[in-house]
Structure 1
Amino acid sequence: MAPKKASSASPLVKNEYPLRLYRVFPTTIGIHLETVACVAESLDPRHVFLLDDGKDIYVWQGSKAKKTLTTKTRLYAEKMNKDERKNSAEIHTLVQGKENNDWPQFWAALGLEEGEEEDLEIEEHVDHKFVPVVPRLYQVGLGMGYLELPQVDVPEGKLIQKLLSTKNVYILDCFCDVFVWIGRKSTRLVRAAALKLSQELLKMIVRPEHAVTTLVKEGTEPQVFKTKFNGWTDVIDVDFTRTAESVRKTGANLKDWAAKQETKVDLSALFTPRQQPMTLEEAQQCMDEWNDDLDSMDAFVLEGKKFVKLPENELGHFYSSECYVFLCRYWVPGDPPEDEKEEETEPEDDFQCVVYFWQGRQASNMGWLTFTFSLQKKFETLFGDKLEVVRMHQQQEAVKFMAHFKRKFVIHTGRRRQEKQPVKMEEEPQEVNAKAVKPKFKPKQRPEPVPEEPQKPQPELFHMRSNGSPLFTRCIQIRPNAASLNSEFCYILKVPFGQDDDSGIVYVWLGEKSDEEEGRLAEEVAQEMYDPEKYSLQVCFPFFFDDLADDDTMILDDGNQVFLWLGSKASDVEIKLALKSAQVYVQNLRVKQPELPRKLLCTFKGKESKKFSRCFHGWGEFKTTRE
């Protein structure tokens, strides 16, 4: 009689109980189960074995094995029966050399026919120096057109349950067993890739014939999988020698409490190489993927004591003294079909709602309290366990949240400018007839309110910068100061005219060493921030005195004077055209800015005045070449 196989069609095991034989080893945290060939020749008198036959679980104790190990294996089998088989399996304990009615079924499960067990000699064949293979945990990911399988860093070499994130898929390689763990919130593409990678990983090195890949879903992990992790157990430790007051102060586990009292410093981060920044192409791919999963996004802002709908024209603009709430609904792919025959049917899709709470740097915590006691309760009633709340502070935003604004993330200083409601004037009493009764008292006259003097609009300076990744590109308002300019970045400056802030100029200043893509983005943001009918847009490039070529003519406007600079080798035609252009430019400024009249001044190369040279950074002597 041939022994049973785990699976005749595919080495991938899915939600079934194949015939498996495990050799049991004692460990400091419990027991370790090593998969061996499911034949009678695998038995060893010095060890304890566990035979899993679905509805029957056998615990076999060798004649030289310790009884304490048998007891631990029996408890393990009972927990397996309770959690995985719903108490439908039957547990049998067999001791080598002692007769039992369960022996015939045990030998039959190992592939022996009736009577063959009498000629079987169980010998010591396991090396006493045998050490179980250390499991390796890999995370499955999708890169730029390829699959990634990085090994997860395990602290102190001990696997713990916290290493498994519900948004990811992992492969646990235990040499004889390869487990594919699928998180609940993982994507469909990563799941399919993990199944293919596990098959390739199984064939990559020489393994025993009984090696198999097992599919494990989050929340339904088998006991064999849990034993690979340190502390993954549902058993509650109880110490009857301690009082309730002691447990309340230090917790149930004294060892964990004592470990927390020791101050440890991890300096490994100081010596690791600096992480390479994400390229624009990779950032664009991440933005596209996250925005494809986004079904809808509703934005709210705190006004007074309640959250109201945020106007669409303010989406992407944040104020440091305000609080915002964004309700995002994401598409979640359905689970892949468990049966190969069901691959033609499409899995049912699901959704997840994430609420992002954004709090400005100058905003108080009252906005967060208002949200938790009002808007959050409404969302929890509507979406239940599908709701996730993420609280963020200014310039500490989540990367997925930043991706929804496509690098156009503007942070203003202060509060929003809300449209003032018109004041309702009291109606004057209508004229009445002479018979009307006169009032017995004279109402007090209210003092007329003193009108507030309108504040003069101030210039606004915004600094655009990305930290570590193009996804974290922000345009933040800073104090308007020339010392804040840096040649590595781009800036937006609004200069208003008059008292009503209805006209002015917007300058986009591009640093000499700034990124070209950021310069283009800064120009787009400036065009969207300010009305082009009220503000004229000018893109400023940094200039130096070396730009003054001999055969050119230049026009320089410093705000007070307009200079016409003439090169030593400029042609007469070019000089005449430049002079006419400068005159037209000055006349145009007199019409648009009558409060700032300019004078037209002329200067030659090598004879520049102090008024002209101070407009250049690092003015020096011109370079001359010998002819």
Structure 2
Amino acid sequence: MDSKLGGRAVQVRVTQGHEPRHFLRIFKGKMVVFLGGKASGFRNLRDHDTYDADGTRLFQVRGTCPDDVRAVQVREVPSSLNSDDVFILETPNASYLWIGKGANDEEKEMAQTAVHLLDPVHAPITVNEGDEPSEFWSSLGGEGEYKKGYDGRGRPLLVPRLFHCHVSPAGKLQVEEITHFKQEDLDEDDVMVLDSGDEIYVWFGNKASEDERQMGLKMAEEYLKSDPTDRSHELTPIFTLKQGDEPVSFTSLFPSWNASLWESLPSYEDMKNKVAAENATIRTE
């Protein structure tokens, strides 16, 4: 394509989980993201299947408008469910459409389309939250806790927003919003503020400074006071969390969650030593 356009094509690198809205619009609400790929060796159990040892798959359908709705494969466990969305559970014998109480019309419509793409063999079984058959829970390893964020009073549910807070060398708090966030965006050197719509979470990284902790909490309070929605500052709770002690209500706001993620990441000292070694190599050449 680049050659056809005479080398004038603009190339943009897009990473999974950070797709901008104009990228999502290309798929017109029919984007499906699968787990597996290279790590699975691209092995399929069925022609329409991604690799999964037991043939069970769970997809989260979420979005705010017809253009940005997408289905993302998540771990097939109860904690992956969320009242705000629609989920597609595919098993070897049946496919279920699980409708969360807070799911919007766009998510419901996209789920109807996606379930036929994912499983063209079985007619989907619609399951409303709270009316799940035993077969549904057994496919997820048994009934368990999950995020129930729906507000039955009819208050509009908000799209979760994540903010990165850190103190500059000049001592000023700097805040940056991270769109289409994932767990890897949580910076253990700083403080993160996550607005779920029903509550505000202030997440303290293990290496965050005391100034960042205090300023991050203050930022969350000021953010809620200036909120343009009809949320009450007095009734919307603010939770402070330490890295490694995240509840299900927090982790379920992310596409996936790996409790041992930070154990596998290099420490700041490791990264600093690596850079120093690379610089030493450059100087000797």
Q: Do these two structures clear the TM 0.5 threshold for a shared fold by scoring above it? A: no
In terms of fraction of residues, the more strand-rich structure is 1
Q: Which TM-score band applies after superposition, normalised by the shorter structure?
A: 0.3 to 0.5
When the two structures are superposed, what TM-score results if normalisation uses the length of structure 1? Answer: 0.21
